[in-house]
Amino acid sequence: MSSLFDLSGKIALVTGASRGIGKALAVGLAEHGADVVLVARTKEALDRTAVEVEAHGRRTWVKPFDLAHVPQIPEFYRSVVEETGGVDILVNVAGIQRRALALDLTLEDWNEVLELNLSAVFVLCQAFARERIGSGKPGRIINIGSLMCEGHRPTTVAYTASKGGIRQLTKALAVEWARYDIRVNAVAPGYIATEMTQPLRDNPELDDWVRRRAPMGRWGEPRELVGAVVFLASEASSYVTGHILYVDGGWLANL
């Protein structure tokens, strides 16, 4: 393995690690040498991810937690630091979708999406950065964006607002924290085959639309995001911060 991409000796915390993209990233980071803290609500599913991570000879800490409880995140993060001694790489993956046209979306659904997809990410980044700065150590943050960092598809208004927020939050934190050697970037996936997108894949019209619109002619797989995240977590990206890296099969390039 090239040392540029080697994460040996590093600890990564991955939210949303119970399935889909977060699970693939947790295993992928372990393949590149990182020990991994696994966060989501469902302990049994996190335990299954832990088995896959440990198969690569890496350590895991299974930390079930509901990130929608935003005010409790700092206390939760303190417990992570106590157990691990400190996290080097924070990967914010947990996210939800609530589908409705803008005229119909309830305030409850709007708040739920914004709380988890944006507020929880901000507060976790803050807890991470405070610990890193306090201990004089560098940090790497990778947020998961979306094509909705750039545009919108009707029925995803809260999600689009949250991912637009992730784009700007990533830039804001990168600018403020570069002086502490905390690099903040985002990986923005195109359409990836996971539980979140199952309703789209179950609808033949939408499934066909995704395949026709993506120049590569197919859905992405969660594992295809690993390379971008390892790049941004490692020395290979030592002069990259505030960047939104699209992994979308050419989607955004396609007019």
Backbone dihedral angles phi then psi of residue 35, each to the nearest 5 degrees? -85, 155
CA distance 255 to 252: 8
- Smaller CB distance to ligand NAP: residue 19 or 167? 19
Binding region for ligand NAP (CB under 6 A) out of 6-14, 73-81, 94-102, 122-130 = 94-102
- Smaller CB distance to ligand NAP: residue 62 or 181? 62
CA distance 51 to 29: 14
Contact 152, 160 (CB under 8 A): yes
* Contact track, ligand NAP, 123-152, x by CB under 6 A: ---------------------x-x------
Binding of residue 10 to ligand NAP (CB under 6 A)? no
Please name which of 66, 68, 93 lies closest in space to residue 186, comparing C-alpha atoms: 93
CA 176 to chain centre: 20
User: Of 159, 180, 239, 246, which one is the catalytic site residue?
Assistant: 159
User: How open is the CA angle 162-72-165, to the nearest 5 degrees?
Assistant: 15
Binding of residue 158 to ligand NAP (CB under 6 A)? no
Type of residue numbered 54: E
Residue 191 annotated as catalytic: no
Catalytic residues: 159
Interface positions with ligand NAP (CB under 6 A): 15-16, 18-22, 40-42, 45, 66-68, 93-96, 116, 144, 146, 189, 191-192, 194-197
